[in-house]
């Protein structure tokens, strides 16, 4: 595509974005725009679907675009943005072996595309000369204008009649301008400018060669490189490194063994809840797990980064690495059990769901680290496979309406789990039919809660919660009825129907 066509497509795309999104929250408009983008790319033959990464990125973008309409949560919209980010990177380099490469190229392109668009504008010609040349020539008027303004200020201060004349002239000009722009919606300009930035990002694509070259030369398997062996104090340096690795992993395994034995005894089989908050109980284990996994990956990458993989007597080091990874797996199970007790007594919340997702990724990550050690895989393989797993699980998890799941679960388990009304009152509008409980129901829940959870901290009362939900229902109905079809989404539509159905005469609330 030549530069002239690119510029025209950018302007057209920005206009479409303005039409779809001006004063409209995200919904069907996201799906429409992204489908138009994909159709245009297919028609202009800019999509290459011959490789694995292009198929994954297109499927991910299409799926998350649908999920923005089906679930319409902040999370699904964010994951759709992530999928779009990866998709643009794929367009820049369809032969990419890794999602990490596509993401890196996409990030660089976001910055470079804006600069390229500005250069296009400044390089456009008017009457044979570039617009940038006109702007540069205009600089000679800056100093005269400043001097004029300075003298006007001096004359106004020294002559009251001149000051009154300028004031009346200013009022006249102000009223005239206001009469012209009185009904003009300046937010449309802001939407158009945002549309320009987004469109530049899609249309102007910058291929950062170092990223592409690194990806091209990367391999899943390690290659043995023959080097001159250096002697240190008469002992082979590779043997020294091997011995250091064995010592380090032996000590780390012993420390983690003690920790795991304590967790198995206390968390797995002898945990007793005594009315305390469990936030620290779960979060400490999660942070420890994250730190342990990072250390595991760094250690494995370091000791199995090169020829130590092919060292004939490395069996003990590999065995200690397997034990180390296995113990991290036990630590993962401990955190899962901690999170189970947290959910059992304090119900669902986004962070607790996030821990579950993280634990799945952790198990897979440990498996890939083990594969790297066992089959002499490269660091590229490790990051590539884990990035792919992260992408898949994020796309799949965006298909669920987590706010609804949280609201339904928490009220259903109010007889044994803590119902945090302050938190539930902040969930999205599409959960309002679930959140909408009568005052007698809320008082009944409160009675059970006081008996089970005699916390000193004061939480929202049933009456306060009921008033907030009633106000939110009114605001939601007004907002839904004022929106166009471009903002339509399934969960809000269903919530609207349910709330309106509750208002119908002859039906019980």
Q: What is the pLDDT of residues 440-455, one digit of tens each?
A: 999 999 999 888 887 7
Cα–Cα distance, 275 to 249 (Å, whole number): 39
Poorest-pLDDT segment among 92-101, 181-190, 319-328, 446-455: 181-190
Residue 232's H or E segment, with its range, is: strand 231-232
Predicted confidence at residue 234, as pLDDT, reads: 37
Predicted confidence at residue 307, as pLDDT, reads: 55
Cα–Cα distance, 310 to 318 (Å, whole number): 11
Whether 117 has a pLDDT exceeding 90, the answer reads no
If you average pLDDT over residues 76-82, what whole number do you get? Answer: 94
Smallest CA-to-CA distance from 80 within 91, 71, 68, 69 is with 68
Whether 374 has a pLDDT exceeding 90, the answer reads no
Proportion of the chain above pLDDT 70, given as a percent: 82
Predicted confidence at residue 184, as pLDDT, reads: 62
Residue 235's H or E segment, with its range, is: strand 235-236
> What's the pLDDT band for 123 if we cut at 50, 70, 90?
low
Cα–Cα distance, 1 to 46 (Å, whole number): 10
Residue whose entry in the numeric block shows the structure tokens 């990035």: 387
Task: Determine the distance from the C-alpha atom of residue 98 to the mean position of all C-alpha atoms in its chain, rounded to a whole number.
Answer: 19
> What's the pLDDT band for 506 if we cut at 50, 70, 90?
very low
Whether 181 has a pLDDT exceeding 60, the answer reads no
> What's the pLDDT band for 261 if we cut at 50, 70, 90?
very high
Predicted confidence at residue 375, as pLDDT, reads: 83
Per the model's pLDDT, the better-predicted residue between 355 and 180 turns out to be: 355
Smallest CA-to-CA distance from 379 within 208, 207, 223 is with 223
Proportion of the chain above pLDDT 90, given as a percent: 42
If you average pLDDT over residues 195-217, what whole number do you get? Answer: 89
Cα–Cα distance, 286 to 337 (Å, whole number): 11
Predicted confidence at residue 1, as pLDDT, reads: 61
Cα–Cα distance, 338 to 292 (Å, whole number): 17
In degrees to the nearest 10, what's the CA dihedral of 334, 335, 340, 343?
160
Predicted confidence at residue 364, as pLDDT, reads: 92
Beta bridge partners of 377: 221
Q: Given its phi and psi angles, is residue 347 left (phi above 0), alpha (psi -120 to 50 degrees) or beta?
A: left
Poorest-pLDDT segment among 8-17, 44-53, 284-293, 428-437: 284-293
User: Is 285 in contact with 328 (CB distance < 8 Å)?
Assistant: no
If you average pLDDT over residues 152-171, what whole number do you get? Answer: 73
- Range list of H helices, 71-98: 74-92
Whether 419 has a pLDDT exceeding 80, the answer reads yes
If you average pLDDT over residues 197-223, what whole number do you get? Answer: 86
Predicted confidence at residue 399, as pLDDT, reads: 95
Whether 249 has a pLDDT exceeding 90, the answer reads no
Strands 231-232 and 129-130: unpaired
In 3-state terms, what secondary structure has residue 130?
Answer: strand
If you average pLDDT over residues 376-404, what whole number do you get? Answer: 92
Which long-range contacts (C-beta less than 8 Å, at least 24 apart) are formed by 259-265? 259/331, 260/327, 260/330, 260/331, 260/334, 263/330, 263/331, 263/334, 264/330, 264/334
The DSSP output letter for 396 is H
If you average pLDDT over residues 119-142, what whole number do you get? Answer: 58
If you average pLDDT over residues 51-68, what whole number do you get? Answer: 92
The DSSP output letter for 125 is E
Its pTM surpasses 0.75 = yes
Count the alpha carbons within 13 Å of 331 in the hemisphere toward its beta carbon.
Answer: 25
How far apart, in Å, are the Cα atoms of 443 and each of 142, 383, 431, 437, 447? Answer: 70, 52, 20, 10, 6
Whether 467 has a pLDDT exceeding 80, the answer reads yes
Return the beta strands (E) in 117-227 as ranges. 125-126, 129-130
Q: String of b and e for 315-332 (b: at least 16 CB within 10 Å)?
A: eebbebbebbbebbbbbb
Which long-range contacts (C-beta less than 8 Å, at least 24 apart) are formed by 439-445? 439/463, 439/466, 442/466, 445/411, 445/414, 445/419
Which long-range contacts (C-beta less than 8 Å, at least 24 apart) are formed by 257-260? 257/327, 259/331, 260/327, 260/330, 260/331, 260/334
Cα–Cα distance, 7 to 2 (Å, whole number): 9
DSSP 3-state percent helix, strand, coil across the chain (nearest 5) = 75, 0, 20
Pull the structure tokens for residue 122: 């400044």
């Amino acid at each position: 595509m030549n530069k002239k066509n690119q510029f025209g497509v950018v302007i057209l795309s920005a206009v479409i974005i303005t039409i779809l999104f001006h004063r409209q929250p995200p919904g069907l408009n996201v799906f429409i725009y992204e489908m138009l983008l994909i159709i245009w790319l297919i028609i202009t033959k800019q999509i290459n679907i011959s490789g694995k990464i292009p198929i994954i990125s297109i499927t991910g973008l299409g799926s998350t675009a649908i999920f923005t309409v089906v679930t319409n949560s902040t999370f699904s919209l964010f994951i759709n943005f992530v999928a779009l980010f990866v998709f643009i990177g794929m367009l820049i380099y369809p032969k990419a072996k890794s999602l990490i490469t596509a993401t890196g190229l996409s990030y660089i392109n976001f910055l470079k595309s804006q600069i390229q668009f500005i250069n296009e504008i400044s390089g456009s010609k008017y009457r044979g000369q570039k617009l940038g040349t006109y702007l540069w020539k205009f600089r000679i008027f800056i100093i005269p204008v400043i001097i004029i303004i300075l003298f006007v200020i001096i004359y106004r201060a020294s002559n009251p009649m001149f000051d009154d004349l300028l004031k009346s002239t200013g009022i006249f000009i102000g009223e005239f301008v206001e009469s012209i722009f009185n009904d003009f919606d300046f937010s449309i300009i802001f939407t158009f400018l945002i549309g320009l930035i987004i469109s530049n990002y899609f249309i102007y694509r910058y291929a950062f060669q170092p990223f592409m070259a690194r990806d091209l030369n990367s391999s899943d398997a390690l290659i043995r490189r023959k080097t001159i062996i250096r002697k240190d104090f008469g002992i082979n340096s590779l043997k020294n490194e091997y011995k250091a690795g064995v010592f380090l992993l032996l000590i780390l395994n012993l420390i983690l063994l003690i920790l795991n034995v304590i967790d198995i005894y206390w968390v797995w089989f002898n945990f007793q809840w005594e009315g305390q908050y469990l936030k620290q109980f779960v979060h400490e284990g999660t942070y420890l797990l994250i730190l342990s996994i990072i250390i595991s990956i760094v250690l494995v990458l370091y000791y199995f980064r090169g020829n130590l993989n092919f060292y004939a007597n490395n069996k003990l080091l590999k065995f200690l690495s397997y034990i180390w990874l296995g113990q991290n797996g036990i630590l993962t199970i401990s955190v899962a059990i901690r999170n189970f007790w947290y959910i059992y007594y304090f119900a669902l919340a986004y962070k607790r769901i996030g821990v579950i997702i993280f634990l799945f990724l952790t198990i897979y990550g440990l498996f890939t680290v083990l594969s790297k050690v066992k089959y002499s895989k490269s660091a590229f393989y490790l990051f590539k496979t884990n990035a792919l797993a992260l992408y898949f699980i994020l796309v799949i998890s965006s298909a669920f309406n987590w706010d609804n799941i949280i609201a339904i679960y928490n009220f259903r388990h109010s007889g044994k789990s803590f119902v945090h009304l302050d938190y539930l009152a902040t969930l999205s509008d599409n959960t309002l039919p679930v959140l909408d409980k009568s005052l007698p129901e809320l008082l009944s829940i409160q009675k059970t809660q006081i008996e089970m959870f005699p916390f000193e901290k004061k939480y929202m009362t049933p009456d306060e919660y009921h008033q907030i939900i009633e106000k939110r229902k009114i605001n939601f109905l007004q907002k839904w009825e004022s929106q166009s079809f471009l903002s339509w989404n399934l969960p809000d539509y269903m919530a609207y129907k349910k709330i309106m159905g509750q208002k119908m005469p002859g039906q019980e609330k």
